[in-house]
Amino acid sequence: MSETTRAPKPIPLAVKPRPTAVGRPGSGKTACIRTFGCQMNVHDSDRIRRMILDAGYAEVTAYEDADIVILNTCYVRENAVDRVRGHLGELNRLRREGRVKKVALTGCIGAAEESETLRRQFGIDLVLGTHNTYELAEFVGLPTMEEIYTPDLPGTEGDHAAFVTIMTGCNYQCSYCIVPTVRGRMVCRSKESVLEEVERLVSTGTKYVTLLGQTVDAWRHDGERFCDLLEAVADRAPRVSFTTSHPSNMEDRTLGVIGEKDTIVKRLHLPVQSGSDRMLKVMHRGYKAERYRRKIEVFREAAPGGTLSTDVIVGHPGETEEDHEATLRLVEDCAFDSAYVFKFSPRTGTEAALLGEAIPIPPGVTQRRFMEVLHDVEGSAFARNRRKIGGTEDVYVRHGANDEGRAIGETWSGHAVHLKTDAAPGEYVRVGIESAGPHVLYAGNPPEEKLG
């Protein structure tokens, strides 16, 4: 069985929408969008949000207040599908009680064959994949849009932080991964189009731009490479980050730019998946552990105080104790600041799902390996975080204060910080770091200095 458990979790699996946004006044129609999965899905939900607001719906956060509900879903691991099933069951009950009128399912599950079974089982009104989200327009009462699928669609405007998709799809064929099936092959957006969007966002108040793509560092266009684009974006936006990178595409030049440019957050998320060359080959990752280690050395040199995170899969079919030991060694050598550790989840249609039937790993073994990797990552993360205690940091406020007055921010090194402040999202606050956990730093109580 699959399970997704990980150290710091920037995007919860089901992301609740922002508090009520008002649609066309007086229409009285309400819609609720629920997002499951990665930042790509969060970004797709922003586009859906714009569509429903244009159609005159007010956005609400609770299913029972909504006329229509849109579940924008993830298919990467089975437990994501299980969660969506739970939500669909709940929505069926609300529909029977006459509270919710229509339900749409979009995103990666919508692009998978399993969506047909879900549609029949739960009587879903509309199922859309990742390539035809525009068909939602008709569903919400907008004129039908003819839209050719490109990633060249506008991002979120006017918010303090925005995602900018620079490429979609993926040209790799990792043994375990369903992404190329549900998101298609790589399509890169032009540099001019990305820069235009960044400039527009910055001029309307965006202070933090995150460049998005499944293999963001594979971006290339008209002879230019990711590094060129990153540099140009960093010259235009006050704060920049990017995700997710693939080790085979990560150039030393890019790592150098992260260190050099003041506007780039010194954080690298570079999924390794395994520390064993044998498993990396089985997974078709296209690099060896030694090459990965070398990349990390270059990053640590370019951005000495920066944060490094990774993804690891344990229990992939055929993984031996020796392979697992190699992963533990790599985890120790790289001293990650955080990691997403996943138990292998068989996805129908992938090579590893077939392998899993032939050479499965007993669940107890996968569980033990999972705990061992997690334990080692948390050990190094905690040790690295403790080094920050006593220091002063300029923290970018990502989420304003909750009911207890606690806000969540981020340092220029990419560390998450809990702080007490009334500063608004998008503002900077200078704080002293008083304590640390394995996943987060804690700022001392005021005095703090608002930097605006």
Chain residues binding ligand SAM by CB under 6 A are 38, 76-77, 176-177, 179, 214-215, 244, 246, 271, 273, 311, 313, 342, 344-345, 347
CB nearer to ligand SF4: pick between 90 and 351: 351
Minimum distance, C-beta of residue 359 to ligand SAM, in the bound complex (Å) = 15
CB of 352 to ligand SF4, least distance (A): 11
Which CB atom, from 172 or from 428, has the smaller least distance to ligand SF4? 172
- E-strand stretches of 279-350: 307-314, 338-343
Closest CB to ligand SF4 among residues 57, 172:
172
Of 136-144, 173-181, 191-199, 320-328: span binding ligand SF4 (CB under 6 A): 173-181
Residues contacting 248, CB < 8 A, separation 6+: 285, 286, 287
Residue whose CB is less far from ligand SAM, 88 or 341: 341
Shortest separation between residue 431's beta carbon and ligand SAM, angstroms: 32
Please identify, using beta-carbon distances, which residue of 180 and 305 lies nearer to ligand SF4: 180
Q: Does 170 bind ligand SF4 (CB under 6 A)?
A: yes
Minimum CB–partner distance for residue 335 and ligand SF4 (Å)? 23
Residue type at 43 in one-letter notation: H
Q: Which does 311 bind (CB under 5 to 8 A by kind): ligand SF4, ligand SAM, none?
A: ligand SAM
Question: Minimum Å distance from CB 196 to ligand SAM?
Answer: 26
Which are the contacts of 170, defined by CB distance < 8 A and separation ≥ 6? 177, 179, 180, 183, 185, 186, 214, 215
What tokens appear for 431 in the block?
């704080």
d(CA 169, CA 159): 26
In the complex with ligand SAM, the residue whose CB is nearer, 299 or 342, is: 342
In sign, the C-alpha dihedral spanning 103, 107, 112, 114 is negative
Would you give the DSSP letter of residue 112? Answer: S
| 287 contact choice in ligand SAM, ligand SF4, none (CB below 5 to 8 Å, kind-dependent) | none
Helix (H) or strand (E) holding 432: strand 428-436
Q: Which of 105, 177, 280, 374 binds ligand SF4 (CB under 6 A)?
A: 177
Site string for ligand SF4, 113-132 (x = CB under 6 A): --------------------
State the residue for tokens 């500063």: 423
Which one of ligand SF4, ligand SAM, none is in contact with 38 (Cβ closer than 5 to 8 A by kind)?
A: ligand SAM
User: Which range touches ligand SF4 (CB under 6 A), out of 9-17, 101-109, 172-180, 349-357?
Assistant: 172-180
> Nearer to ligand SAM by C-beta: 170 or 233?
170
Residues 189 and 221: beta-carbon distance below 8 Å: yes
CB 69 within 8 A of CB 103: yes
C-alpha 308, offset from chain centre? 15
The rounded Cα 142 to chain-centroid distance in angstroms is: 29
CB closer to ligand SF4 out of 52 and 216: 216
Tokens 């050395």 belong to which residue?
Answer: 297
| Residues 244-273, interacting with ligand SF4 (CB under 6 A) | 246
Residue selected from 40, 70, 128, 174 as contacting ligand SF4 according to rule CB under 6 A: 174
Q: What are phi and psi of 377, to 5 degrees?
A: -65, -45
Cβ–Cβ under 8 Å, residues 258 and 306 = yes
- The residue behind tokens 């040199």 is 301
Q: Which does 345 bind (CB under 5 to 8 A by kind): ligand SAM, ligand SF4, none?
A: ligand SAM
Amino acid making up residue 379: G
Residue with tokens 């200095």: 449
Q: Give least dist CB 130 to ligand SF4, A.
A: 13
Burial of 92 (0-12, 13-18, 19+ CB in 10 A): middle
Report the candidate in 122, 116, 117, 106 with the shortest Cα–Cα distance to residue 74.
106
- Map the footprint of ligand SF4 across residues 188-227, applying CB under 6 A: 214-215
CB of 207 to ligand SAM, least distance (A): 27
**Residue 27 or 320: which CB sits closer to ligand SAM?**
320
The nearest distance, CB 191 to ligand SAM, in angstroms, is 21
- Tell me the Cα Rg of the chain: 22
The smaller minimum CB distance to ligand SF4, of residues 184 and 238, is found at 184
180 binds, among ligand SF4, ligand SAM, none (CB under 5 to 8 A by kind): ligand SF4
Helix, strand or coil, per DSSP, at residue 300:
helix
- The Cα 269–Cα 310 span in angstroms is 5
CB of 244 to ligand SF4, least distance (A): 7
Among residues 134, 130, 124, 85, the alpha carbon closest in space to that of 110 is found at 130
| Position closest to ligand SAM via CB | 271
* Cβ 344 to ligand SF4 shortest distance, Å: 12
Number of H helices, E strands in the chain: 13, 23
Under DSSP, is residue 69 helix (H, G, I), strand (E, B) or coil?
A: strand
Residue 208: both structure tokens together: 């933090």
Binding residues (CB under 6 A) for ligand SF4: these are 170, 172, 174, 177, 179-180, 214-215, 246
